[in-house]
Structure 1
């Protein structure tokens, strides 16, 4: 771990200071010949260069590269021992080895360096064998222990300081993050204020568009209702009157046709009134869908003198009123198209209650048509699937309930219409389209 404290830098510089002072004293005070003093200066220079290169020139090595630092301390300790043996003043350099051990050696290796320094202080390993130097040995051991304790205390203090610095850095980071969050919150508030202004303007536009859409939707609804009631009723009345005209010589047939026309006119009038009041179709007002379709199919069969059957599969259940209205109108429209265009001999209607959907199939054995031909399924030239506005209105009703309409037909092979609508239960709250 790289140390950055001022006292740590002092420790690393301290051996050079002690070495320089000891060398000045040794050179100026030594009675040795110039050659010996030159050797001493050379050894001191070597120690200074070695310490500078291994510690000061490479500050990242201490406590990060154990092997180079172990080599450094061993060589430096040997040089200190040699210089101490040449002149006692180099005891200062030996003393500087104590802090150098903690400044350069990692972990517990520092205590080995302290022990080695204490050994040098008593004159080397050979001094331990002399009984007459027992006091020096004891003093060295006490000094080494004291140096080890001081070094351990300083390292513990350094660890605590570093821990606090780390906590301060974390706190500063948290404060900076909080400031960034506050700035982001202020920016978000400004954006929300701008969005609120834009939403207010957009809401005004949407209200205007909703009013226009409502008008268009109401017009479409009235158009579909008029088609399903007045148009089909008038078409049925015209058909009965034409049949009565053709049977003018048969008074009974004429009376029967006129009675049917009168009944259709009354039913159409009732449906117009209900449509204007936006009520359910008359047959569904007081009865369930299967019974209403049964009356519709049997009445259509009697009016057009064509065989028609209704088949109900699955478990019949009460559905959302809008679902039943769409199913009823789809069957009504398909049967009207059969009567006008199909030239069919028989017609079948199937109402299938499934788990998630309700499916209605209307099939006839009439002349059929080609659905792929442009406009054939929308212009009304044959079959249950034709009928101009009728099929368009049917599709619109079904699609608004997330359903779909499929038409299958071919010339001479009849026509089949399949209407699939989600089986929304009567209890479901759903806004009426």
Structure 2
């Protein structure tokens, strides 16, 4: 058998395996059904890479207290170490100058303060910045800083999974099957890397923050990684560290109804719901999760979300898809659907990505849709696309490194070079 034939067969087998995985990986409701690689597998890999040392990033205050107690240290050390990590942003123990040298050496012998590596960092022509984060086990996710148009501040868009649990038809991330959940450390460290990139340490006050907000709207469905996401958010709002207000954090869900009730009671950050349709018929087609949690159940959970009021409204995100969900009738149906819920709409022009089957509604159509919702009593601003030139806009995030590695493997095989795994 020739080398060319062998290479072609290998590639064909791989392509077939990928196709089979895509075909069998999700249930009819669009939710990932393959066994989930637990995020603690990544933690174990990281510990092995650091010669048995434990990462302090991502530990709760209680866990950090237990770790200090194991070293024979008094409880007041917890606040000191916490502030060095999350308020000062240090990455080595020698910088913790109010700790004795023997204690710093003890900490260094048992622990690390880890950051993801950054294979790629891109800045868009509009100022949007995107980082590809590579974690200790080699898996990757993307994080984006989105500057405000009118103020010298902006939001950090954070991922909760490598890939995504769902298969929303208009979303690029949904074409990348779920690999695993991110740990609390990996979620928190995304914001810390953004802080590193802009030199925003120590933690500034709310008035002077450039990285002023967090939106859990990156890769993945946050509520399908509930425990890690809530643990990370509690670290991010802790007043001795990063100290973001809960009102500066927005979590976006596609509608995981049971966890929405838990979220409101456990952390009560701002809620955004990826709605994108006013009827079950359309939403079933473009967001298969609707088959599991239909609109009636979703709207009930929104009405009962704690502390929802005109001063703290739910945001309904709505991507504008030409001839799918953008008619005047759709706008009227939306208004009827959310009746009685303190809310606003965020209209999102569809951001194209390679292979997408949808088109964006025309600008005139989007404006008319927005105006009609306004006439019906709802705020419905149009989100200006940011970072399209680096695939950093809403719905465009995906770990391109997986595809690039596959292409490199094909090239190696075609050249007769064995795969290096």
TM, length-normalised to structure 2: 0.22
| Higher RCO structure (Cα 8 Å, ≥6 apart) | 2
TM, length-normalised to structure 1: 0.21
